[in-house]
Structure 1
Amino acid sequence: MSKDLQSFDTRNTYSVASSDYAVAAEEFWGFISDDTVARLDLRPGMRALDFCCGPGPMTVRMAERVGPTGHVEGVDILDEMLGITQRRVRERGLDQVTLRHGDIDALPPGGERFDVVNCSLGIYFAEDMVRTLAAFWSYVRPGGTLAITTIGRRLFEPVLPVFFEACRSERPGMGTYLPWVRTEDPDVVRALLDAAGVTGAEVTAADTPLPLGSPEAWWPIVHGSGLRRLETELGPEAEERVRKTCEEWIAEHRVDRINVGTVRAIAVKP
């Protein structure tokens, strides 16, 4: 694992942010789940697997598509995320969902059991992404589909550079590494899939404008994303100054939307 990835405490960041991330998954990130589901040929009775399921936006959407005769399994490393997903599926009566704790760095052989295997916004946390992608592929049955979504370039522009600068002004030398930069290039994602033996993958990149209803809407995005790690490191007083700096900049420049770049890969197993 790279030193950069080691510097990002994934478990603590997302454990602390689990509730806020759950809100963001619907308010900010929901379009990723909607777009992914629309690309998949999910039908009643199918079996689907959702790695790095987090608070369950994709798990729920897939379960609704496969219906009560199908089955969806959600896997995550954080008990806090699994607890949120469990509440969501119970509220919706989705008895076709099972959830389990799992580490994408230590997956057993898959046995080609699933019609659809998905991992949204999670592969870049793997120590060895090639090994993990090969493990994902082992769960896909012949004729089944693997779907991978990562964050692309220009995330949260034009506000993110302002946020980084404000953080470093409070703590000179502060590291602002974020794991998703490992897979923001479509060519990198394609090469990883090729190395993992995933054949015939279609890899595309897209920029999606995310409405920013007010300057104050920026901070919930920080709370509900991996940026939470930097916020936590700042401490309460510095955090408040950074928040104020960002909100004033957004208001001054009349920013009403931010960019969310994504890289998506779809592969059908021969």
Structure 2
Amino acid sequence: MSKDLDSFDTKATYSDASLDYATAAEEFWGFVSDDTADLIGPRPGQRVLDLCCGPGPMTIRSAERVGAHGYVEAVDILPEMRAITRDRARERGLDQVTVRHGDIDELPPGDASFDVVNCSLGLYFAKDMARSLASFWSYVRPGGTLAVTTIGRRLFEPVLPVFFAACRAEQPGMGTYLPWVRTEDPDVLRALAAEARLTGVHVSTRDTPMPLPSPGAWWPIVHGSGLRRLETELDPGAQDRVRRTCEEWITAHRITQLNVGTVRLIATRGRDGVPYTVPA
């Protein structure tokens, strides 16, 4: 599995797609952030750490909820994503937002000072997921909450299998590995939580219908997600044929919505300050 992860160039995929991903974050991924924010808070005056913030949908929603007396720290490895998050916070006058560089493979131990620590759609990029999860946990204060959202098995059904088949028809033998398959099984998150010594753990799955307003709306999803990695392996002519195949299939089958499957881990630290230990 680590060899498969090495084959996926995260920085190139998401740096190149930063603006497309930013658009998709509002149009297609924003509801994931809304759903998470509704589930875990945050509340006015709280401190929030948003790891793998990307273009900042959860950062912005958190800042709006904690208000001027709260604080949100957004962390991402990519400068393009950090710039977008910083600009969006500035445009909205959210002075309580700080954006900084951070790699979830190399996070220093935290000081247990955050009420909410969130990592949406990012844990599966970590080389050692249990170690990274334990690092996340070290930032959660007593009584605080850690929320991790990953992608589930039924992502973008029913169109994604059509996209995969069309890509392989253009380039037989193309690998369609995507990092999020590492955590699509909820039992994987449960095992990682146990290894990372989390407490108050609840893992659940959720399938959410997402509107697909037109056949042409599919391609921006490809551009604004990790699927872009597969697209960029094809030459422009092949890309156009794959796009047309998908749009024609969507039209023929009258597809008006996609499923977005997610897996969510919520952990709550006891108010007695359950100690954390980052696995060796």
Tell me the equivalent position of 2:181. 181
Match of 1:113 in 2: 113
SS across alignment from 2:232: helix
Q: Secondary structure at the match of 1:164?
A: helix
Aligned partner of residue 135 in structure 1, secondary structure: helix
User: Where does residue 263 of structure 1 map in the other structure?
Assistant: 263
Letter in 2 for 1:228: R
Following superposition, the deviation at residue 41 of structure 1 comes to 3.3
For residues 118 and 175 of structure 1, the distance between their equivalents in structure 2, rounded to whole angstroms, comes to 31
Shift of 1:176: 0.4
- SS of the aligned residue for 1:143 comes to strand
Cα distance, 1:258 vs. partner?
1.0
Q: Distance in 2 between matches of 1:160 and 1:62?
A: 31
Q: Which amino acid aligns with 2:3?
A: K
Q: Paired residue for 1:150? A: 150
Structure 2 residue 171 is the aligned partner of structure 1 residue 171: yes
Q: 1:233 aligns to what SS in structure 2?
A: coil
Q: How does 1:185-200 map to 2 (within 5 A)?
A: 185-200=185-200
Matches within 5 A, 1:247-262: 247-262=247-262
* 1:11 corresponds to: 11
1:7-61 alpha-carbon deviations (Å, 9 max, x no partner): 1110000001110110111100111111111111322211110000000000011
* Per-residue CA distance 1:228-270 (angstroms, 9 max, x = gap): 0011111211100100111111111111111100011111101
Between the aligned residues of both structures, percent identity stands at 74
Partner of 1:214: 214
The AA in structure 1 aligned to 2:23 is V
Query: Aligned to 1:130, what secondary structure does the other structure show?
Result: helix
The letter for the 1-side match of 2:257 is R
- 2:132 paired residue number: 132
Aligned to 2:276: none
Aligned position for 2:245 = 245
User: Does 1:203 pair with 2:211?
Assistant: no
> Which position in structure 2 is the counterpart of 1:59?
59
Determine if the alignment matches structure 1 residue 103 to structure 2 residue 94: no
d(CA) in 2 for partners of 1:42, 1:214: 34
Q: TM-score, normalised by structure 1?
A: 0.99
Q: Structure 1, residues 126-179: CA drift from partner, whole Å, max 9, x if none?
A: 000000000000000111000000000111111111100110111111110000
Match of 2:273 in 1: none
For the residues of structure 2 that align with 1:47 and 1:258, how far apart are their CA atoms?
A: 34
Corresponding residue of 1:83: 83
TM value normalised by structure 2: 0.95
Give the aligned CA root-mean-square deviation in angstroms.
0.8
Deviating beyond 2 angstroms after TM superposition, the runs of 4 or more aligned structure 1 residues are none
Distance 1:48 1:109 in 2: 16
Once the two structures are superposed, residues 53-78 of structure 1 have per-residue CA deviations (whole angstroms, 9 ceiling, x without a partner) of 00000001111111111110000000
1:159 counterpart letter in structure 2? V
Which residue of the partner structure matches residue 228 of structure 1? 228
SS in 2 for 1:261: strand
- 2:50 is paired with a residue whose SS is strand
Structure 2 counterpart of 1:157, one-letter code: E
